[in-house]
Structure 1
Amino acid sequence: MNGSENAPDRVVATDAAIELIRKLKDIHGPVMFHQSGGCCDGSAPMCFPDGEFKTGDQDVLLGEIEGSPFYIGRAQFEYWRHTQLIIDVVDGRGGMFSLEGPEGKRFLTRSRIFSDDEWNALKAHEEKAPITV
């Protein structure tokens, strides 16, 4: 929980993902994430040097993981808004443009449905502080 009206974070990361993010930041400096609804690589979270991926009005800032902004395409957000995204890492090659590829790892999104209490807290929080682009 992020402490704001007990609203849960919309995106979190596993310990393994946090470890990889730290490694990537040591190599590349600040990073950012984007998850779109495209096929193939576009359906996985992609990691870029911060600011390299240009976001627009069809992207939603979902939150931060390990101090790095995490964006999602608006259509995907509408589809997944009732779930918490859990960013994990597995062995294998990810998207060819994502920074983790050379590490032999790839980011993976898992999810869980918010409980009724969490959902109500999120709705109350977002009435005061709407999701931003």
Structure 2
Amino acid sequence: MVERVTATDEAVALIEKLKGRHGPLMFHQSGGCCDGSSPMCYPDGELRVGEQDVYLGEIGGAPFYISADQYNAWKHTQLIIDVVDGRGGMFSLEGPEGVRFFTRSRVFEDEELKQL
């Protein structure tokens, strides 16, 4: 089964590091401007997930949600969470590490869309 969200080895390694410091984690991709356009990493349960959020799956054992508006715009793509140098969102846990989570994407193939 094709996954709607995956993570690079670098992202999984950072998730493991952050879990060691903060315990279980969660992710949210809201799609707004500024910080909202990056995947945000929080201690699990710190962000209230609402009816307008869509669960995409897990990365590194952490649940990953996206706002419904963003899901509708990106539902034809697989989100690939990576890590790049630079400052992340001010509320995201990776901020002090000097790196940030970054969303890449690829368009699902027709056969993958049928599976979904």
- Shared fold by TM > 0.5? yes
Spell out the pairing of 1:1-133 with structure 2 (5 A cutoff).
Answer: 7-122=1-116
Find the counterpart in structure 2 of residue 126 from structure 1. none
Structure 1 residue ranges, 4+ long, deviating more than 3 angstroms after superposition: none
Deviation at 1:37, TM superposition (A): 1.7
Deviation at 1:67, TM superposition (A): 0.7
Per-residue Cα deviation, 1:67-110 (whole angstroms, up to 9, x for no partner): 10000000000110000000000111000000000011100000
Deviation at 1:120, TM superposition (A): 0.6
Cα-Cα RMSD: 0.5
Identity across matched positions, percent: 70
Aligned residues: 116
Please give the secondary structure, in 2, of the residue aligned with 1:120.
helix
Find the counterpart in structure 2 of residue 4 from structure 1. none
Query: What TM-score results when the alignment is normalised by the length of structure 2?
Result: 0.99
Deviation at 1:33, TM superposition (A): 0.1
Query: What TM-score results when the alignment is normalised by the length of structure 1?
Result: 0.86
Deviation at 1:55, TM superposition (A): 0.7
Cα separation, 1, equivalents of 2:63 and 2:23: 13
Structure 1 unaligned residues grouped into runs of 5+: 1-6, 123-133
Larger Rg: 1
Please give the secondary structure, in 1, of the residue aligned with 2:47.
coil
